[in-house]
């Protein structure tokens, strides 16, 4: 199960862990629920090779604003404490907005493991 964390917990995890995928979401967001299901499958498939956590933007609104999170679901990947730039259909970016498929995420993360 993908663990929900606070902003302060997230910052500690990002500093300690090698690879962290952060799901910025909200309880009221329908697509976020689908993304959570995909992330739970991904977490099982990768079996401890990455830490996947979720941050509720309504509970940590100031932190989400500080990071420029304007839409949910939004995913950000961190490696060694730094945001990773990823490629998708829209080109190079530091975050993925909208629901991402399991094959896409698995392929993306395997590049960094």
pLDDT digits (tens, 9 = 90+) for 32-78: 999 999 999 999 999 889 999 999 999 999 999 999 999 999 999 99
Nearest to 32 by CA among 2, 77, 61: 2
Q: Could you say which of 2.40.110.10, 3.40.30.10, 3.20.20.140, 3.40.1350.10 is the CATH number of the domain covering 3-110?
A: 3.40.30.10
Give CA separation, 106 vs 9, 16, 39, 113, in Å.
Answer: 25, 22, 10, 10
What pLDDT was estimated at residue 91? 73
User: Any catalytic annotation for residue 45?
Assistant: no
User: Any catalytic annotation for residue 29?
Assistant: yes
pTM, two decimals, is 0.93
What residue segments make up the domains of the chain, in order of their start? 3-110
User: Confidence band (pLDDT; 50, 70, 90) for 93?
Assistant: confident
Of 5, 10, 32, 57, catalytic: 32
d(CA 4, CA 111): 25
Of 29, 69, 72, 96, catalytic: 29
Q: What angle do CA 96, 92, 40 make, to 5 degrees?
A: 30
Q: What share of the chain is helix, strand, coil (3-state, %, to 5)?
A: 40, 25, 35
């Amino acid at each position: 199960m993908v663990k929900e964390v606070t902003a302060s917990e997230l910052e500690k995890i990002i500093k300690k862990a090698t690879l962290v995928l952060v799901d910025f979401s909200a309880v009221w967001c329908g697509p976020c629920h689908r993304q959570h299901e995909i992330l739970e499958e991904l977490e099982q498939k990768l079996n401890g090779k990455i830490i996947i956590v979720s941050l509720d933007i309504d509970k940590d609104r100031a932190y989400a604003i500080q990071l420029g999170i304007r839409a949910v679901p939004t995913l950000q990947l961190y490696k060694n404490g730094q945001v990773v730039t990823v490629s998708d259909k829209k080109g190079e970016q530091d975050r993925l907005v909208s629901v991402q498929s399991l094959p896409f995420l698995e392929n993306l993360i395997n590049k960094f493991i």
